[in-house]
Amino acid sequence: MQLAVWVVYPCTIPVFIIWITCLLDDSVASLVYKYTAVPPSPNPKSKLSQAFRIELENLVDAVQRFDEGRAWFDISTPTIIKLHSLNARSIRIVAAEYLAVEATSDDDNIEDTLASYMLRNSQVKNIQNAIAIWEQAGNSFAEQEPISFSITAKKWNSFVLSEVSPSSMRRSLTNKMADTFDWNVAPNGEAPTFKFHLLLFESSVILELVLLDRPTKTFELPKPGFKRVESFALTKSIDIQPEDVVIDPMCGKGTFLVEAATIWPSAKYYGMDTSLDQLQNAKENIEATNVAVELQPGVDARNLSDWKDSSVDKIVCCPPFGRQFEKDSDALYEDLMREWSRVLKATGRMGILIDKSNVQSMMEAIQKANCHVDQCRTPSFRLGNIRATILVVSKLSSTKSVKEQQKETEFGPLWWEQEQQTNTNQPPGRSLWTAMRAEALPSLVPYSYKRSIAKQLSCE
């Protein structure tokens, strides 16, 4: 059977289209294989995981097992396309397995022995068949392109051989697979043609091949700052629209902008900071998530001289707070708000994350800058060791008197929390934020499409 796949690489260099014809064994398409899905939450009892399990059961032939960090299921190959809508971190096929690891071993090189078991003749055939399924899931690569691969590895606490090193086994299996298949090992930081994951649990060693993945990294960041669910709550509050110019004048590690660019990729994002170390952290987070954010080094948030008046649609930021800023916070906040109000469009909006003890000082600075706090999120929420809140700020019109525009600041759930509560009867709070973020995340795509996005950004 011939499988033809069109692949379009969205790169800044001239767009090109590759036609690939793959010869597959007819028996492969009709078989039922074991697949795995990485749930949206590592806690199988969480509401998010339970909703995911129900969704999975409605899409596949059978859910065999549901563990922390993994769901095991069967599905007929032609229906893999259904899984693109699944709220999972990724979908994988079991490419090879060894299910009879003994609890004791005198082998001084057990990692190498296990790697050899994973590449027995029957397992090599399984890997080849898994690659055929990988192509049927919408993945592809250019015929003239050298094939590369990478393997990550994780050992669960339940694995029977505590002395086995997952990193040593990963290295051993990588070397053996490179020799067996004549593939190149992908350099660190480069997206490989095939992405494998080695999982060691109970008496089993499983080699997974990633079929479907999120187009951007949607969970952990290499340089974590604010949690992504809190970043979602803040950026959701400013109602980002396509083509909006969105800035974070004190972006730090860039977590707000990375989150916004993940959920609303059609806006334009810019981050500034005076700290080059922080901007390097932001750069790593941006590259890891394949999002488009421009960083501007050495910019003082109190003096955005490169930005014209009324040139920004949305501002999102967490200004400094804490004991080290208490003495000068009033003057600092006034300087910041005066400058941010200058660059903000009349129809613009700001989202400010701030600790509870500095809310009054910030609200006074906002008022002095001819702006208005439309919402102050209550109750406050825990942010590390402090209580924090979100302020939603708009700019007062220059054509109307301040008195005409005076209105009470609304204290309570954020506007979108209220809407969701009305529609679904879900109470506001972190559980709602998590559920709404999960719904807003980009859908799963063939892994090779995610890889093409990474290649596109490397071209820029």
Q: What is the pLDDT of residue 406?
A: 59
Lookup: tokens for 345: 């469009």
**Strands 410-412 and 371-377, bridge-based pairing:** parallel
Q: Which residue has the higher pLDDT, 145 or 415?
A: 415
Alpha-carbon distance of 140 to 446, in angstroms, equals 9
**What's the pLDDT score for residue 216?**
74
- Average the pLDDT over each of 146-150, 217-221, 263-267, 385-389 and give the range with the smallest value: 217-221
pLDDT recorded at residue 309: 97
Quick one: which of 188, 199, 195 has its CA closest to 164? 199
Torsion angle of the four alpha carbons 298, 344, 361, 355, in this order, in degrees rounded to the nearest 10: -70
Average pLDDT over residues 180-193: 91
Residues 345, 313 contacting (CB under 8 angstroms): yes
Residue 13: is it exposed, middle or buried by C-beta count within 10 angstroms (0-12/13-18/19+)? exposed
Residue 403: predicted pLDDT: 58
Residue 89 pLDDT greater than 60, yes or no? yes
Q: Distance (Å, rounded) from C-alpha 165 to C-alpha 169? A: 6
What's CA 49's distance to the chain center, in Å?
17
* 442 or 302, higher pLDDT: 302
Q: What is the band of 99 on the pLDDT scale with cuts at 50, 70, 90?
A: confident
Same topology for domains 2-215+445-459 and 228-440, yes or no? no
Question: Using an 8 Å Cβ cutoff, are 447 and 195 in contact?
Answer: yes
Q: How far apart are CA 156 and CA 119, in angstroms?
A: 22
Name residue 141's amino acid: F
For residue 405, name the pLDDT band (cuts at 50, 70, 90). low
Q: Where are the domains of the chain?
A: 2-215+445-459, 228-440
Closest to 97 measured CA to CA, from 209, 207, 211:
207
Is the pLDDT assigned to residue 9 strictly greater than 70?
no
CATH topology assigned to domain 228-440? Rossmann fold (3.40.50)
Pairwise CA distance, residues 127 & 137, whole Å: 15
pLDDT-derived band at 299 (thresholds 50, 70, 90) equals very high
39 φ/ψ angles, rounded to the nearest 5 degrees: -65, 165
pLDDT greater than 50 at residue 364: yes
Would you state the torsion angle of the CA atoms of residues 363, 364, 365, 371, taken in this order, to the nearest 10 degrees? 70
pLDDT of residue 175: 97
pLDDT at 229 over 50: yes
Q: Is 302's pLDDT higher than 60?
A: yes
Q: Determine the average pLDDT of the residues in 407-433.
A: 89
pLDDT of residue 385: 87
pTM of the model: 0.72
Residue 242: asked if its preceding bond is cis (omega within 30°), the reply is no
- For every residue of 265-287, DSSP letters joined together read TTSEEEEEES-HHHHHHHHHHHH
Whether the per-residue pLDDT at 235 is higher than 90: the answer is yes
Residue 313, Cβ density class (10 Å: 0-12 exposed, 13-18 middle, ≥19 buried)? buried
User: Quick one: average pLDDT of 246-266?
Assistant: 96
Decide which of 3.40.190.10, 1.10.645.10, 3.30.2130.30, 3.30.450.20 is the CATH code for 2-215+445-459. Answer: 3.30.2130.30
Q: What are residue 386's DSSP bridge partners?
A: 383
User: What 3-state class would DSSP assign to 58?
Assistant: helix
| Stronger pLDDT, 171 or 46, i.e. the higher one | 171
The span from the CA of 240 to the CA of 221, in Å, is 22
Report how many helices (DSSP H) and strands (DSSP E) the chain contains, helices first.
14, 20
Residue 222 contacts residue 283 (beta carbons within 8 Å): no
Contact 267, 258 (CB under 8 A): no
pLDDT of residue 426: 82
78 or 168, higher pLDDT: 168
Contact (Cβ atoms closer than 8 angstroms) between residue 455 and residue 217 = no
Strands 204-213 and 445-446: antiparallel
With tokens 């300087």, the residue in question is 335
Whether 428 has a pLDDT exceeding 60, the answer reads: yes
Burial of 347 (0-12, 13-18, 19+ CB in 10 A): exposed
